[in-house]
Structure 1
């Protein structure tokens, strides 16, 4: 299998999420090709200053510019993020041609990676979103619950997130790559804190203090977030994805949020999660976490293998 980008690295203390649109000119396309193909080298040059900081950067490329930037066959499932309009809220679809997911144990290393990328990209791109995330206490979100409990671990990570030769309908250049979905959620913490701990736990599906899974209501009734966000196959096996969510915000400005980022070998799994959360399962019973969390962005990308990423720089 082609070697993947560092999509499977664990949660770090700091992260930066950059989403850009590419200016539609030949010069911009050439500039972007040069930058994205050199990301592994840029990362290495910064990392050498402190290897223990575990600096990584994953590059995702969106549907709109895939054909012009890569000249590679289009990944089978790659398309723009589909809006999901529910009765309570909408999973919005927002612009995004390039994603840079920067992770490190030191904030300054993320900063330096971002600075060099911005300098090199110049006027070839327009910034759509910039979010700085941080690890909060024992990997909790700002709602107070441990996040990412359902993530695969060990050898199961690659199997869940990296496209394999055995996947149906794939082309050879997609092997080693991964689909990436990002959403930026803002939380109404004032309203959330008005709930009792028991009410919050029923919405999430886990105990708040010790992160123990609790049972849902009976079939046909309201399901918890952990259940709505779990997709199973016909035999009951779970289609796992890797979430590397990060809290963000500022108490002084009253902004509190979660940056949702999911890696998967199967894009449809993440999209099915969105449908279940926003439309409800059964329909009409949406994920009650959406009563307190609003999605303000939504974009889809494909992170090609390292070999395919580096080859982009050779395109003319």
Structure 2
């Protein structure tokens, strides 16, 4: 890959490299019009680390963290002199049978902790601080399900980069020097038809996912006429280089309402990597041979953000409004 020869995640980056947590809240809000609303958002961005410390000190082993992502339109409204090179609104993807819709969102707060009460308390204070400056768009509380499985019964996030690979895959390098240490973030909320999935044989489930269900062994489908989710989500460029992303997906649900889902959140150094992944999943390779997982999992949201470095957050907090 071009850019940094990453040895570690930069100290200035937000806590993107934090280990997978037991609980999370994914909060997407819109920022209301007016100078007062923007001023409140700036104050919040400037004090987000202090807020994490204020809540998190009660139990440091809870490992509370919060990553802030900023949408393209809000970035423009905040009047920053420069903008991440690839940042733009989520582009809807429509295949022959399934669609990845685009939905609004100015700010993403990815709140993580080992205890759900810490996520709740942080969100409560966060929203109280923002007050009428924002409007709620989407709020999902996720939980770690057994040994990092999704509600379909398969281990999720197996292909995540580790160690120095996190920086190579998830963080912007010297190719966009003003935004080194930042990350593009795409979120989607998928709802599963567990009844239909439960009626599907384990053998077919494994072919659809590309892994064995019990022991999580990768299956080879190079010669298969229909590619698995695993293969379609693997992105290789024209030079044969594989481009990973960092996923921190979480299951969520309300059994009493028949709601069972996976909240997809992907951090990437290059936005085009996730865009190509979604094209392969929803349109198919070749066209029409879409990801069969979509027959059981429906995307209801799709939003793109940029999670800047801590120093860039401070710059945005102190900038003048437009």
Q: TM-score, normalised by structure 1?
A: 0.96
- After TM superposition, the structure 1 stretch with the greater mean CA deviation from structure 2, 208-217 or 175-184, is 208-217
- Cα offset for 1:94? 0.1
| In 1: Cα distance, 2:195 partner to 2:81 partner | 48
**1:1-316 aligned within 5 A:** 3-69=12-78, 71-165=80-174, 167=175, 170=176, 172-216=177-221, 218=223, 221-316=225-320
| In 2: Cα distance, 1:158 partner to 1:133 partner | 25
Q: 1:197 to 1:212 in 2, by over 3 A?
A: same
CA deviation map 1:59-94 (0-9, x unaligned): 000001102225141100000000001111100000
| In 1: Cα distance, 2:190 partner to 2:167 partner | 27
1:20–1:127: 8 Å Cα contact kept in structure 2?
yes
CA deviation map 1:171-207 (0-9, x unaligned): x331110000000000000000100100100000000
| In 2: Cα distance, 1:291 partner to 1:37 partner | 43
* Consecutive unaligned residues in structure 1, runs of 5 or more: none
Q: 1:58 to 1:70 in 2, by over 3 A?
A: farther
- After TM superposition, the structure 1 stretch with the greater mean CA deviation from structure 2, 18-27 or 96-105, is 18-27
| In 2: Cα distance, 1:248 partner to 1:180 partner | 19
CA deviation map 1:214-241 (0-9, x unaligned): 111626x210000000001234331010
| In 1: Cα distance, 2:305 partner to 2:49 partner | 18
1:2–1:175: 8 Å Cα contact kept in structure 2?
no
Q: 1:70 to 1:100 in 2, by over 3 A?
A: farther
1:183–1:296: 8 Å Cα contact kept in structure 2?
yes
| In 2: Cα distance, 1:123 partner to 1:281 partner | 46
**What secondary structure, in the 3-state scheme, does the structure 2 residue paired with 1:139 have?**
coil
| In 2: Cα distance, 1:313 partner to 1:271 partner | 29
**What secondary structure, in the 3-state scheme, does the structure 1 residue paired with 2:132 have?**
helix
| In 2: Cα distance, 1:162 partner to 1:70 partner | 23
**What secondary structure, in the 3-state scheme, does the structure 1 residue paired with 2:140 have?**
strand
- Cα offset for 1:44? 1.1
1:2–1:307: 8 Å Cα contact kept in structure 2?
no
| In 2: Cα distance, 1:154 partner to 1:246 partner | 21
- Cα offset for 1:19? 0.2
1:21–1:98: 8 Å Cα contact kept in structure 2?
yes
Q: Tell me the C-alpha RMSD between the 2 structures.
A: 1.2
1:2–1:305: 8 Å Cα contact kept in structure 2?
no
| In 1: Cα distance, 2:202 partner to 2:116 partner | 33
**What secondary structure, in the 3-state scheme, does the structure 2 residue paired with 1:199 have?**
helix
**What secondary structure, in the 3-state scheme, does the structure 1 residue paired with 2:235 have?**
coil
Q: TM-score, normalised by structure 2?
A: 0.94
| In 2: Cα distance, 1:306 partner to 1:313 partner | 11
Q: 1:40 to 1:72 in 2, by over 3 A?
A: farther
* Consecutive unaligned residues in structure 2, runs of 5 or more: 1-9
Instruction: Work out the number of aligned pairs and report it.
Output: 311
